[in-house]
Amino acid sequence: MAGEPQRTEGKDQGGTLKGSLLEELGWTKYVGQDTGTWTGEPVLARDVRRYALAIDDPNPIYRDPGAARKVGGLVAPLFYVTWAVGVPGSERGTKELGEDGLATFVGIPDIPNVWDLGWVRGGEEIEFFERVHVGDRVTVNGKIVDMKEKEGKSGKLLLVTSEFVYTNQAGEKLATHRLTMIGTPRKEAGHG
Amino acid sequence: MASQTFFEDVREGQEIPSLRKDVSPVSILMYVASVWLMDRIHFDQPFATQRRGLPGVVAPGNMGGDYYAQLLSEFAGDDGQVRKMSFQFRNFMLADDVLEVGGRIVKKYMSEGKGIVDLELWIKNQGQVNCVPGKGLVALPFRKG
């Protein structure tokens, strides 16, 4: 789809890690993998305004061009940078979606059996450098940096950590972001 | 926006002004719609509880990052900078939760000529459970340039 983020770079790299469930799933080879470089469409004023409404952040620099003059024009709330590219591959018709309503999982493209687990966010670290302005085309480069296995209250958990670097169309670094996702076994096996 | 906070005026142990966030099914839906995040755990109660074993419809954890970004941005003011945030998702933020988003200064120091403040952060629900413990790092301007 033309509107979705376009992959502009990226190739697979090898990696090793020990862990029975990870090995069983055959995922260890994804550690160290560059998940590609993606560039989004220009950031829309409407999207930024609605996002600010959703998080109930009243700062007028997100919606009022006059108030935003002091920051060089309308900007997005800081954490919006993590959404500014969009989630590659997420814009599909309902028939193409997995049971969760998702088509893809950030940081782990095309991994077999990924939907045998349910995924939630574990933790994040982000460092901000420059703001996202309305009209910017943001590029993200991602890499899977770690996979760990833990024994949780109701069985095994997988912790998958990715790193993302965001830049704008001028090549300025906007943010670096480290995200750990936690995969847990579903109530029922498999996924239709 | 509030008046500017300066590095000279803050002290270790000080709490910064907190935010109150009323999470609702509508605010969750506004968020997931604005970023195209169609994960059913955020809007489908039977799926969230029966299939995924969650306590209810849960807010995207990302919203906690946005709440912290607002908290720290308002503290930093126009002339300060939010440099870093980190946080862990320990308990779900659920639809209809009333959250207190707050922080406390744990350390202030100079680094590369800047006035830096380290903070510990929390998002507590109405049961005083810290759902998303975190840390922040903010650069504040000096009163005397």
pLDDT for A173 beyond 50 = yes
Instruction: Check: pTM over 0.90? Answer yes or no.
Output: no
**pLDDT tens sequence across A82-137:** 999 987 777 888 888 777 777 665 545 456 677 677 777 899 999 999 999 999 99
pLDDT of the residue at A19: 44
ipTM field: 0.95
Nearest chain B alpha carbon to A99: B40
Nearest to B87 among A50, A83, A124 (CB): A124
Query: Does A79 sit within 8 Å of B69, measured CB to CB?
Result: yes
**pLDDT tens sequence across B3-51:** 899 999 999 999 999 999 999 999 999 999 999 988 899 999 999 999 8
Bridge partners for A183 per DSSP: A119, A158
Second-level CATH architecture of A6-185: Roll (3.10)
Please, which pLDDT band fits residue A190 given cuts at 50, 70 and 90? very low
Q: How far is B24 from chain A (nearest CA, A)?
A: 10
pLDDT for A15 beyond 60 = no
Second-level CATH architecture of B9-22+61-140: Roll (3.10)
Ramachandran area for residue A153 (φ above 0: left; ψ -120 to 50: alpha; else beta): alpha
**pLDDT tens sequence across A39-94:** 999 999 999 999 999 999 999 999 999 999 999 999 999 999 999 998 777 788 88
Among residues B21, B31, B25, B22, the alpha carbon closest in space to that of B67 is found at: B21
Contacts of A187 in chain B (CB under 8 A): 50-53
Query: Does B33 sit within 8 Å of A90, measured CB to CB?
Result: no
**Single-letter amino acid, residue B34:** S
